Chains A and B, each alone.
Chain A
Amino acid sequence: MKANPALVPYDSAANGAWTAREAAHLLNRAQFGFTPAELDRATNDGFEVTLQRLLDPQPESLEFLQADASLRQAAINTGNLDHLKIWWLYRMRFSANPLTEKLTLFWHNHFATSNAKVNSVPYMLAQNELIRTNAAGDFKALLHGISRDTAMLIWLDGNANRKRHPNENFAREIMELFALGVGNYTERDIQEAARAFTGWHVRDGEFWRNRQQHDDSIKTVFGQTGLFDGNDIVDLCLAQPACPRFLALKLARTFVCPEPPEEMLAILATRIREADFQLKTVLQELFSSQWFFARENRRRVIKSPLDLVQGTLRMVTDPIRWPGVVRLLADLGQDVFSPPSVKGWEGGRLWISSSSLLQRANFATELISTDQYGPLSPRLRLLANERADALVAQLQRWLLSDAIDDKISAELLKFFHATEGTSEQKLRGLLQLALSLPEYQLQ
């Protein structure tokens, strides 16, 4: 098969050297920001090694495993959703597999389920772990798993889906939001699919095929007729041409650019189908593509609140005080385990409004002027000893990697010299300014 030119692998030699800018672009998209050490490591290791490290499972440290277990158990023990959020935020920050956490968030938004209705920390946790297990794996297994997930069945009223009174919630969402997208199914398909999912209930907190309530008669979906049950409907959805294209659109919007060209989507959809929905293969090709690294796709994505907050804390703060972070994320509009609707967070330009921009600026102010999210990291504080130009250059490299230009440098330097106070106060002032720049809201 002829290789598609648009997915020509990124060639650092042909596109300029692999520098901290390219490393920062990859790390910003594939994880929640980076620490100075992570940026140095990625820059030094080169593209291939860095990407492989992101894609291949990495062993977690003993410290991480113990803390993870403790935070997870506390969430179960207390039944407190904030504890569950902190457990996940901790994983996003400290896991040796940050891409897995980023993908888990991607699928959490895709299969948006809110505890507001599920009202169970263990069920929300189980769904999150199901997603994590398959986050970079087999989308087919993930979709099958989600269709039997307890939290999802409660969220979409699975127990109300009965033989003589089918409930269409799940059938509609699997087609509209999980696999195909609007316009790729008919109302008749939904009605028939709903019958196939009848009897898919929750009993004592677990998935239960209630045979008494399952409609085992013949159904016709997408023009095919048979004695279909829920599994068959999932397979039929996966077999639709719209399915890989739907996934391609979501992946491209999240990881490449907000408005991906049609021809690139078609290519990506083809690669998804050819990879048999094996996400690691697809992501490897996507992150390795010239398209991903293209100049016009850098700083094209508006940071979600999680990208903004986690990325900033990762760079600026050590240690992190998580309870305040949970409240902050809710205020900024991305409250994990509580998406606003079945559609999840729409994101993109909707992340930015006059009020949210003000909140983002306030976050920068609070972060720098108080310790409520944690103190400045020791490495960052050391910068206070640097000369002004070196300090500005370093901050730009860490915070604004792709937006470095002479004008910004000059403004930052001017601000630094105009600020009064100790060297640490000047550093804090400069940090606050950099974090409030419009360029910092993009990745």
Chain B
Amino acid sequence: MQITRSIGLLSGFLLWGICVQITWADLAVTTPDSLVAYLPEGAIGSLEVSQLGPLIERVETSGVLQMVLNSPQWREALKQDGLQQAMAGKAIAEGQLGMSLWQFAKTYLGDRIVLGVYPPAQPGGQPDGVIILRVDEAQSLTRLWDRLSPLLPLAGGKIRVGDPAGGGHLLTFEDGHQAVIRDRWVVISKIKPLLEQTLQNLALLESKSVGLTETAAWKQMATQLGTKHHAQLCINLARLTELAGHRFIPAKLDNPVFSLLFGGYLELAAGSPYLGMTLDIREHDFELRSTVAGDPTQLDAAHRPFVLEKESALQAEVPPLKTPLNGFSLARDYANWYRNREALLEAGLLPNFDKFETGLAIFLAGRDFSEDVLPMLGQRLTLVSIPQSFAHLKGKPGVQLPGFALLFDLAKPTEANDLLNLVFQTVVLVSNLQATQEGRPTFVLSSESYRETQVAFAKYVKQPAGDGLPISYNFQPASARVGNRYIFATSLETCRQLIDTLKEDEASPQTIRPIPTEGVRDLFLDISPVVAADLLQRNEQVLHAQNLQQGKSAEQSKQELETLFQFLRQLTPVSFSSTRHVDRWVLELHGGWK
């Protein structure tokens, strides 16, 4: 692909780079913040990266990098032929450049780079592209040119040097790509008109109207997302649709889970002028956002289940448990999503729903899943997992799993409670039948009153003892209703913790992460790497054995696991969310490190 080649050429070019011999100082003084302004119009998308210098500096000096470089995995990887060649190439390149690749990256990639992507000149062809790179100081390109230009003849005619109109240097590569270097600028493209128009835009600094920033898609994105980000991608969806001649996002999806999670977002994207992605990196965290524009409440009837009515809109949130491994919450109009499945999903998937309902019938006591059960369950589903202490055993399972719990928000609490209790009892009954056949421990149903909440739970007929108990002892199903929320938990301990949290939450509502002040968060996922590290460490013996099974030495295995635990403990919780606003829909990935 030409874009890929352009990026590759940029890298190659920087190694073999040249500098500007005439000054273009005026540009350096008055250039706008975003280089997108210089891209010729007609682009279907742009990607701009800025202020990488401080970030590269931070990565270079970070403890995490040192940890990786000292890790047995890296030492092992260095034995591979490919990496050995890469390291040798790095040493040669650094020798020619007279600086480390870190320093090189900070100097030449540390300011701004933008890539513009254009539709192919011929139908069915590959997209074209333009790359603009700006460095902090013109002198740095001069120094690089002085160092490397004597080596260009060694390229054996694959790179020709010329003098472009307007000054600077013109490099023409064997495959047709051209690069012009002036002052602080490097412009690369294979398409001559694009290259020339970009150079004109650079010269016509004052008349910004020629740039890509004047397109409606960019303007709307800049208004909604701003332009000060480490990286910003803008895809002109309207232009793409226009070029394709039809909507390019399928109206029906081929995966039910994907539909439940992102069906509304994708439908909004189909009519959005742009898709914008931004990356912001701060001292200890980062945010990656993907945004499409439009009013979600104006989606067609089939897609309305993704947008709950405003007055009843539930925010996706996870109860503030003390040490959760992860939490996931999704607010949808499940009953109507299920009813609309023929309009939302590909026809080939639909028979599986019928099979699913048939299989489920044993648990539902004659109720219809679609018409009776889903409407009872309400519009928010939450899943949490929490490490267990196994206090109810005289020992511990050999593999320690977290406890899992599903929380249903009940639309009709009393009716739903009876039905879900019946489902719970049937699940335990079926589990017992299977356990008897497979020689696993069986349960007896019991109940208790915990914090004024009636809890139904399964307990073992005989309390097991020992530290290498079968994996099945991670499970001791329990269920309870707290207010209008029903808990299905894989262990009594998990169920009790949730009851504690929900009871305290009733007194003073809290969430594990703040709900955004603007918009409605309809999907939320949170994972704690530190808790994951603790849990993995509890199972270190099994992980160590798995490494031995793969032929690793005991020493190598222990070092690898230690590195993994250390790495996870360097991280802060990772979250993913989907938030609807009146004029856009935003997906956000947030993570951090200590």
- List residues of A whose CB falls within 8 A of some B CB: 63, 66-67, 70-71, 73-74, 76-79, 83, 86, 90, 119-120, 154, 204, 319-323, 374
A67 touches B399 (CB 8 A): no
Please determine whether B551 and A79 come into contact, CB atoms closer than 8 angstroms: no
Cα–Cα distance between A246 and B556 once the two chains are bound (Å): 48
Q: Closest residue to B552 on the A side, CB-wise? A: A319
User: With A73-B468, A78-B399, A78-B471 given, is the CB distance from A67 to B554 under 8 Å?
Assistant: yes
> A76-B398, A77-B542, A119-B439 are contacts. A83–B549 as well, Cβ < 8 Å?
yes
Least CB distance, B396 to chain A, in whole angstroms: 10
A120 and B439 within 8 A (CB): yes
Question: Given known contacts A70-B544, A76-B468, is B549 in contact with A322 (CB within 8 Å)?
Answer: yes
Q: Is there an interface contact between B439 and A321, defined as CB atoms closer than 8 Å?
A: no
A–B Cβ pairs within 8 angstroms, 7 of them: A66-B554, A70-B548, A73-B541, A78-B398, A83-B545, A83-B549, A119-B438
CA distance A119 to B435 in the complex (A): 11
Cross-chain contact of B554 among A63, A83, A90 (Cβ < 8 A): A63
For B397, what are the chain A residues with a Cβ–Cβ distance below 8 Å?
77
B interface size (C-beta, 8 A): 22
Provide the residues of chain A in CB contact with B256, threshold 8 Å.
none
Select which of B439, B545, B550, B553 is within 8 A of A74 by beta carbon.
Answer: B545
Q: What separation, in Å, do the CA atoms of A71 and B468 have in the docked complex?
A: 13
B550-A79 in contact (CB<8A): no
Whether the pair A71, B541 counts as a contact (CB closer than 8 A) is no
With CB as the reference atom, state the residue of chain B lying closest to A118: B439
Q: How far is the CB of A40 from chain B (nearest CB, A)?
A: 24
- Determine the distance from Cα of A73 to Cα of B438 in the docked complex, in whole angstroms: 22
Which 9 residue pairs are nearest across A and B when measured between Cβ atoms? A77-B398, A319-B551, A74-B545, A76-B468, A322-B549, A79-B470, A70-B545, A119-B439, A321-B551
B545 touches A71 (CB 8 A): yes
Those of B392-422 within 8 Å (CB) of chain A: 397-399
Q: Which residue of A lies closest to B398 (CB)?
A: A77
B545-A73 in contact (CB<8A): yes
* B217 nearest CB across to chain A (Å): 48
Which residue of chain B has the shortest Cβ distance to A73 in the bound complex?
Answer: B541
Cβ-defined contact, A74 with B551, below 8 A? no
Tell whether B298 is near chain A: CB-to-CB under 8 Å.
no
The residues of B with any CB-CB pair to A shorter than 8 Å are 397-399, 438-439, 462, 468, 470-472, 541-542, 544-546, 548-554
Is B541 within 8 A of A74, CB to CB? Answer: yes
In addition to A77-B541, A119-B439, 19 A-B residue pairs with Cβ atoms within 8 Å of each other are A67-B554, A71-B548, A71-B549, A73-B398, A74-B541, A76-B398, A77-B471, A78-B398, A79-B472, A86-B549, A154-B439, A204-B462, A319-B551, A319-B553, A320-B551, A321-B550, A321-B551, A322-B550, A323-B549
Q: In the complex, what residues of B have CB within 8 A of residue A70's CB?
A: 541, 544-545, 548, 554
Please report the C-alpha to C-alpha distance between residue A323 and residue B547 in the assembled complex, in whole angstroms.
11
Q: How many A-B residue pairs have CB under 8 A?
A: 61
- Chain A nearest Cβ from B557, distance in angstroms: 9
Which residues of B lie under 8 Å from residue A320 when comparing CB positions?
551
Shortest C-beta distance, B209 to chain A (Å), equals 59
Which of A67, A74, A154 has the most chain B CB atoms closer than 10 A to its own CB? A74
A77→B400 CA distance, assembly (Å):
9
Contact call B546/A74, Cβ cutoff below 8 A:
yes
- CB contacts (< 8 Å) of A73 on chain B: these are 398, 468, 541, 545
A63 to B553 CA separation, bound complex (whole angstroms): 9
Q: For the complex, what is the distance from the CA of A71 to the CA of B399, rounded to whole Å? A: 14
Residues of B within 8 A of A319 (CB): 551-553
| Cβ contacts under 8 Å, B546 to chain A | 74
* Residue contact A374 to B544, C-beta cutoff 8 Å: no
Tell me the minimal C-beta distance from A313 to chain B in angstroms: 10
* B398 touching A79, Cβ below 8 Å: yes
Chain B residues near A321: list those with CB within 8 A: 549-551
Query: How far, in whole Å, are A73 and B471 apart by their CA atoms in the complex?
Result: 13
Give the Cβ gap from A113 to chain B, nearest Cβ, in Å.
14
Report how far A76 CA is from B545 CA in the complex, Å. 11
User: In the docked arrangement, what's the CA distance between A90 and B550, Å?
Assistant: 11
Chain B residues near A86: list those with CB within 8 A.
549
Neighbouring B residues of A120 by C-beta, 8 Å: 439
User: Interface centre among B399, B544, B548, by most A CB within 10 Å?
Assistant: B548
Minimum distance in angstroms from A118 CB to a CB of chain B: 8
CB atoms of A323 and B468 under 8 A apart? no
> How far does the alpha carbon of A76 sit from the alpha carbon of B472 in the complex, in Å?
12
Which residues of chain A have C-beta atoms less than 8 A from B550's C-beta?
321-323
**CB-nearest residue of chain B to A318:** B551
Nearest CB in chain B: distance from A18 CB, A:
34
Among B398, B548, B549, max chain A CB count under 10 A is at B549
- The CA of A237 and the CA of B570, in the complex, are separated in Å by 66
B471 touches which of A79, A323, A374 (Cβ 8 Å) = A79
Of listed B470, B545, B548, B550, residue having the most chain A CB within 10 A: B545
Shortest distance between the CB of B514 and any CB in chain A (Å): 39
Bound-complex Cα distance A90 to B548 (A):
10
Query: Hey, which chain A residues are within 8 Å of B472, CB to CB?
Result: 79
Cβ–Cβ < 8 Å partners of B468 in chain A: 73, 76-77
Q: Which of A70, A119, A321 has the most CB of B within 10 A?
A: A70
Chain A residues closer than 8 Å to B438, beta-carbon distance: 119
Contacting residues, chain A, for B553 (C-beta < 8 A)? 319
Closest A residue by C-beta to B557: A70
Query: Please, how many angstroms separate the alpha-carbon atoms of A204 and B441 in the complex?
Result: 11
Docked CA distance A119–B439 (Å)? 7
